[in-house]
Amino acid sequence: MNHISLVSSGSNTGPQIQGGFLQMEQIRNLDQLLEYAKEVGPKKISVACAEDTEVMEAVENARKAGIANAFLVGNADKIKEVADKLGVDLANYEVIDEKGGEAASALKAVELVSSGQAQIVMKGMVATANFLRGVLNKEKGLRSGKTLSHVYIHQVKGYDRVFFISDPAFNMYPELKVKIDIVKNVVELAHAFGVACPKVAALAAVEVVNPDMPPTIDAAILTQMNRRGQIKGCLIDGPLALDNAVSPESAHHKGIKSDVAGYADILHVPTIESGNMLAKAIVYFAENKTAGIVLGAKAPVVLTSRADSAEAKLLSIASACALAAHQGK
């Protein structure tokens, strides 16, 4: 069995065997992610309620790219209608006819993953609540005992690395123990991208601890827990404001001496509002490429928005493939 060793320099993102260890270069942009997903793929996706035009198009793009194949779970007649509309040849897929409604389709899609027949589950035309009930089903679901959290992965012009923003979508006002899980979840994903020791900026509005601003206190506690080895595999510093988390010049001007300040890989946000606004500001105000997945389950979960572009959906699938490969799936 090969062991994975993460290294952080060079341009080849593919895994290389050296001295019995499988080495992986850091993925610094989302084009490299697609190439890496091809190398470790194709993975198998189980799509819940696959009678969805945008999702089927994304899955077909992933198949053509050599990243993933798929089970299409749902009403077979409606799946065929969508496939015919898009010109998708269903001979390339395994269609699982499930006419018992959204909840039944979601649970069946999840069961294909929990039974080991697929490595990734993806939401189709199903309400998020019904989809997540399937993911969290006690008997057939993908419960891991960890908090589920969402992450956006952004490639932003002008930066030499991708940014991981978490949690911008699931946990509204997480207390400290939930924030610990969120950090651990996204650190694992950063490792899957080849970031050996990701730098985590625990964000707040200011970079000093203020007893009247709870996010600054939580950020300081996360930093201390990391220093004492309670949160491993990363380097955490906070509180940091956004400017001194990503700009070395800003950190220098403010006299902040930190291995994280100015060079953060992970932007850990204190609330859903701050994360959601930051992620969407990048999407709409910057030249960027974006992906997003759900973390904390036994297998990667792809839950995209209808507002996401076809490219974003493909990159989200590729991100899930990278995580699945890291988890040995």
The 10s digit of each residue's pLDDT in 138-195 is 999 999 999 999 999 999 999 999 999 999 999 999 999 999 999 999 999 999 999 9
Output DSSP code: residue 147. P
Could you tell me the residue ranges of all domains in the chain?
Answer: 1-39, 41-144+299-326, 149-289
Digit-coded pLDDT (tens) for 37-78: 999 989 999 999 999 999 999 999 999 999 999 999 999 999
Given a cut of 80, is residue 23 above it in pLDDT? no
CA 233/CA 192 separation, integer angstroms? 12
Digit-coded pLDDT (tens) for 98-109: 999 999 999 999
Strand order in the sheet with 3-6: 3-6, 21-24, 16-18
Q: Which of 1, 43, 36, 66 has the alpha carbon at shortest distance from 324?
A: 43
CATH class of 149-289: alpha beta
CATH topology (fold) of 41-144+299-326: Rossmann fold (3.40.50)
| Structural element, H or E, at residue 38 | helix 30-40
Radius of gyration, alpha carbons of the chain = 20
